Structure 1
Amino acid sequence: MKVMIAEDERLAREELTYLLSRERDVELLPFAASGVQLLELAAVHKPDVVFLDIHMPGLDGVQTAHKLMDVDPRPYIVFATAYEQYAVEAFRLEAVDYLLKPYDEERLRQTLQKIRKMRTPSEGTAFPLGAATASLAADGQIRSRSAFKPKLLIDDGSRMVVVEPAKISYAVKEEKLTQIHMADGQVHATRQTLQELEEKLTGYAFFRTHRSYLVNVDRIDEIEPWFNGAYNVVLKDAGRSKVPLSRVAAKELIKRLQGE
């Protein structure tokens, strides 16, 4: 996969270059030292993956990421910064991952493995990441799966209901049942546990925001503060559902954004 680094700090750039050079399937493209330079180079070299520093002169990483959404094909974006407070913004921009400096080699490998799983084996190119906000709705994050991905079968006790995972808004454990809430307002009840459902959805963009909630990342529209460091996730569905995001889950959200 073709990888481009956008980083204005020489030492940080050299460290990341060294770590990436140890991966056999990584082809390092010319680096960029600013957001403007990255956009120019990306138009020529068409990277599959961009490691994007948030703090850069001129266009910062967040502004640059917005502009990368218009690049065709759109590369996977991995944010890199020394500041954790940008994690939510990275999440809203549908970054594949969010790496803190100094880089941890094992953490970087986990990120690369996420990307490998999302790439199409037959073509070896990245699909666009997708939409957690209305402006990104057409992009389809983590719908980078094969079109032949099986649908989800839900056993509601009397029949098997065929469900498209992309149309699920969220699932919640309620007593002995798991309630699966669809984006159009329908609700399917099943005796399958939330853990069993999560395993069936491996490879799709679902994330545990709370021990009792499993959320479709593509349906997330907003993250709003609640209390005691916790948040609510507002979903793009018929009822603008609000789902709790625990403090622990908030810290892990970016790390597990692609629902490993």
Structure 2
Amino acid sequence: MIPLKILLADDHEDSLKTLENLAAKHPEFEVVSTCRNGEELVEQAAVYKPDIVITDIKMPKLNGVDAIKKCMQFHPDLKFFFVSGYGDFAVEAFNISAVDYVVKPLEKSRFYAALEKAKWAVLRNEKKLFCQKHGKKKLPLKFNGALYYVPFNDILFIEKLGKKCFVYTKEKTFETYEKISDLFELLDDSFYLSHRSNIINLNNIFYIKPKNETYLAYFLGFSKHAHISKLKIKEVHEKIQQLNE
């Protein structure tokens, strides 16, 4: 996987070095530039086009919030979070869609949690752009260190179990830590959120049968079944009929 490009900004040399050292410990990230004021942040963002910006707020020439606003004029999909000694800018930060807001003194675990959130925000955006470009024909899934492009037609159903989601095809099962709601956004109208923990491919359902207070969907040549809420069974039948018209 190509490392995600990170740009760092802080007017304190020690803080900037700490951020750089923490980010550099993970091979999935690459620090492409470090800046000491807001104007430099904007200039470097235009040159390097980073995936993620991590910045202080109170800096010379231009504060971090205003610098990010300028960056978003030419990089609207930019993901960013703030690391600041002041907590009173948090509302303004989230109003411009900051991924996170970390208050100094910086804790390593807190920094990495924010960085992980930023990483997934970048990957989700890349997947949405891919789906738009390719007419939503395939679902991009990161699995076992590789990025798979799973054809929609091959997907039987998706199941949420604990913190993971399992994407079932006849040939292979893919695991991902993405939210089931985020996966659903990437799929087309042939998929339906039939249960809080299941997304079914309506085109691949072989038969449905009731069981106690719920319904089970079965797929030809596949042993596992998906769940359909009794509150959604009517709409499932209607959608299948619409797809067959």
The TM-score, its normalising length taken from structure 1, stands at: 0.49
Maintained 8 Å contact 2:42/2:68: no
Residue equivalent to 2:112: 109
Match of 2:231 among 115, 138, 157: 157
1:35 aligns with 2:35: no
Distance 1:123 1:92 in 2: 22
Distance of aligned partners of 1:14 and 1:158 in 2 relative to their CA distance in 1, 3 Å threshold: closer
1:171-207 Cα shifts (integer Å, max 9, x gaps):
xxxxxxxxxxxxxxxxxxxxxxxxxxxxxxxxxxxxx
Higher strand share: 2
Whether the aligned pair in 2 keeps the contact of 1:6 and 1:31 (CA below 8 Å) is yes
Q: Decide which structure has greater helix share.
A: 2
Counterpart code for 2:81: V
Q: Could you list the runs of 4 or more consecutive aligned residues of structure 1 that deviate by over 2 angstroms after TM superposition?
A: 71-74, 115-127, 142-162
Which has the greater radius of gyration? Answer: 2
- Aligned amino acid, residue 112 of structure 1: L
CA distance in 2, matches of 1:124, 1:2: 17
In the TM superposition, what is the alpha-carbon distance from 1:124 to its structure 2 partner? 8.4
Deviation per CA, 1:44-86: give whole Å up to 9, x if none: 1000000011101121111112212212363211111111111
Q: Which amino acid aligns with 1:97?
A: D
Alignment counterpart, residue 56 of structure 2, candidates 53, 58, 62: 53
Structure 1 residue 148 corresponds to structure 2 residue 187: yes
Equivalent-residue separation in structure 1 for 2:27 and 2:34 (angstroms): 19
Relative to structure 1, is the Cα distance of residues 126 and 66 closer, same or farther in structure 2, using a 3 angstrom cutoff? farther
1:48–1:125 Cα contact (<8 Å) kept = no
- Partner residue of 2:70 out of 67, 72, 77: 67
Higher RCO, 1 vs 2 (CA within 8 Å, ≥6 residues apart): 1
Measure, in 2, the Cα distance between the counterparts of 1:122 and 1:60.
Answer: 26
**Aligned mates of 2:82, 2:112 — CA distance in 1:** 15
SS in structure 2 at match of 1:31: strand
Residue 122 of structure 1 deviates from its aligned partner by 11
Residues 51, 122 of structure 2: 8 Å contact kept: no
Q: Choose the corresponding residue for 1:16, options 10, 16, 19.
A: 19
Residue aligning to 1:226: none
- Report the TM-score, using the length of structure 2 for normalisation: 0.52
Q: Distance in 2 between matches of 1:144 and 1:75?
A: 19
How far 1:120 sits from its partner (Å)?
A: 3.2
Matches within 5 A, 1:225-244: none
Distance 2:95 2:5 in 1: 24
Please give the per-residue CA displacement for 1:103-159, whole angstroms capped at 9, x wherever unaligned.
1111111122222323338968999xxxxxxxxxxxxxx998763286544757375
When residues 30 and 116 of structure 1 are mapped into structure 2, their CA distance, relative to the original with a 3 A threshold, is: closer
Matched, 1:83 2:49: no
CA distance in 2 between partners of 1:144 and 1:55 (Å): 34
Tell me the C-alpha RMSD between the 2 structures: 3.3
Change (3 A) 1:158 1:90: closer
Task: For structure 2, list consecutive stretches of 5 or more residues without a partner in the other structure.
Answer: 131-178, 196-228, 237-245
* Distance in 2, Cα, partners of 1:157 & 1:70: 45
- State the shift of 1:160 in Å: 5.2
Cα 1:148/1:62, change in 2 over 3 Å: same
| Structure 1, gaps ≥5 residues long | 128-141, 163-260
Identity %: 31
Contact 2:194-2:232 within 8 A present in 1 as well: no
